[in-house]
Amino acid sequence: MPKRKGLPFGSQFSPPQVNLPGVLEIIKNNEGSQQNIESAIRSKFFSTHAAVSQAKLANNTWLSLKDYKIINDKSNFTDIGKKLYDLRNNPEKLYEIFARHILVTLDGLAVIEVIQDMAQSVEQITLESLRKRINERGLYFPAGGTHFSSLRGWLSLAEVFDKDSTSYKIHKNVVERIIGIKQDFIDKIGTFSQEQKAYIKALAALGASDWIPSNDVRSHAEKLYGVSFSEKSLPIKVLFPLRDVGLMLVWLFI
């Protein structure tokens, strides 16, 4: 059964619980060994907890690291994990790149859209009402889960949210700067098809600064988001609509 698409699992993986540079060092020193990574995490972050719960807490952190795509199933760094490790001594850039990863690759931008829509309609935002709206968008957010708290905690370190742990205030200018898209374009994303959303997010995730073949972006979108594109209809259904709203330029080679 395929994994249900949803917010990343975040138990025992939030700024109050672990230090990201410290976790990255642990992974680097123990790559390829889940057991060693969990043992080091348990010793560094959870040694003061009840002995019977320490192993479970460390395992939750490992699962979260995998769900945040910092490591893979074999406990090795992913590409974004390597990039974060290289930035471990530059906190400002570290949390900005991590926030970009969360917003673009892990559907954090969809969460931002939900909160903005709720605020605009003057709907009271609570964890319960937010979970309902997020689930309505097709993103799984289970009752009692720490998924949003973890996500908000990391985004707050990049100043996307206020650092007050109970705040739902979003700094739109920070979101624009981090993902390189203006708010009016962000608003338009909500009207895009699933394929269009996946394509533009994959393009942003690639961080291309020059022309890039559409097939490369399409392949990356399929890998990241599990969508399928028709090669023949890609220009009509995806490329041209994104071009027409100013999100990308399209150059066709005949």
Residue linked to tokens 């022309």 = 211
pLDDT tens-place string over residues 10-67: 999 999 999 999 999 999 999 999 999 999 999 999 999 999 999 999 999 999 999 9
Phi, psi of 71 (to 5 degrees): -130, 165
pTM: 0.76
Domain chopping of the chain, boundaries: 93-186, 192-244
pLDDT given for residue 107 in this prediction: 84
Which pLDDT score, from 0 to 100, does residue 21 have? Answer: 98
Please say if the pLDDT value at position 189 is more than 60. yes
pLDDT digits (tens, 9 = 90+) for 136-181: 877 888 888 889 999 999 999 999 998 876 789 999 899 988 987 6
The C-alpha angle with vertex 18 and arms to 202 and 59, in degrees rounded to 5, equals: 80
User: How confident is the model over 94-116, as pLDDT tens digits?
Assistant: 999 999 999 988 888 888 888 98
